Amino acid sequence: MVNLTQREKQVLVELIKNCKTSDQEIARKLKTSRPTVLKIRNRLEKKGFIRGYTSLIDFEKLGLNIQAVILYRWKDYSKAKELKSTIKFIRSLPEVILFVKGEGAGSKTDLIISVHNDLKDYEEFIRKLKYQWKNNVENVEVFLSSFDGIFKNYELSSLAISKLDEKKR
């Protein structure tokens, strides 16, 4: 990790807690000036510590009631053209809120998290995926849940804050 100044860490912690916090409010909490916070924020963005700002969405209020977690294994990495095309396709799907390539349980190589209006919408989505995958994918496992079934959202803010606090010690 690139070294951060104490003040950079403090600003970053405040932005992790709430990215909508104004520079004026951060300045007030840290007992510094708004222009100082703006300079630090810009520096953090330039250094790549802040890659963007995002919102937490209540999907149910948008009529999206089902979340699907899909794990699968890509069969043959020599089919690079098909793999590249499939990745591009998955990334283009509006239902996909997270797509991860990696290695996991049962030799799974990919993870998709998608959101859907209802079961019919999910079924249409999975058919599109299967058509794109053709016979290049195996060991597909799916876990469906309503948003009521989510007890802790995917977020890394507490871990990031503790990592920044670690550096103080």
Query: What digits encode the pLDDT tens for the residues 127-157?
Result: 999 999 999 999 999 999 987 766 656 666 6
Greater model confidence, 117 or 164: 117
Checking 147-152 for CB contacts under 8 A at 24+ apart, the result is: 147/59, 147/60, 147/64, 147/65, 147/67, 149/67, 150/67
> In whole angstroms, what is the distance from residue 18 CA to residue 138 CA?
40
Same domain, 109 and 79: yes
Same domain, 42 and 90: no
Per the structure, the count of domains in the chain is 2
The answer, yes or no, to whether residue 165 has pLDDT greater than 80, is no
Same domain, 109 and 137: yes
| pLDDT at residue number 54 | 83
> In whole angstroms, what is the distance from residue 26 CA to residue 33 CA?
9
Helices (H) and strands (E) counted in the chain, each on its own, are: 6, 4
Same domain, 44 and 102: no
The answer, yes or no, to whether residue 15 has pLDDT greater than 70, is yes
Q: Which residue range is the domain that position 102 belongs to?
A: 59-147
User: Per the domain annotation, does 154 fall within a domain?
Assistant: no
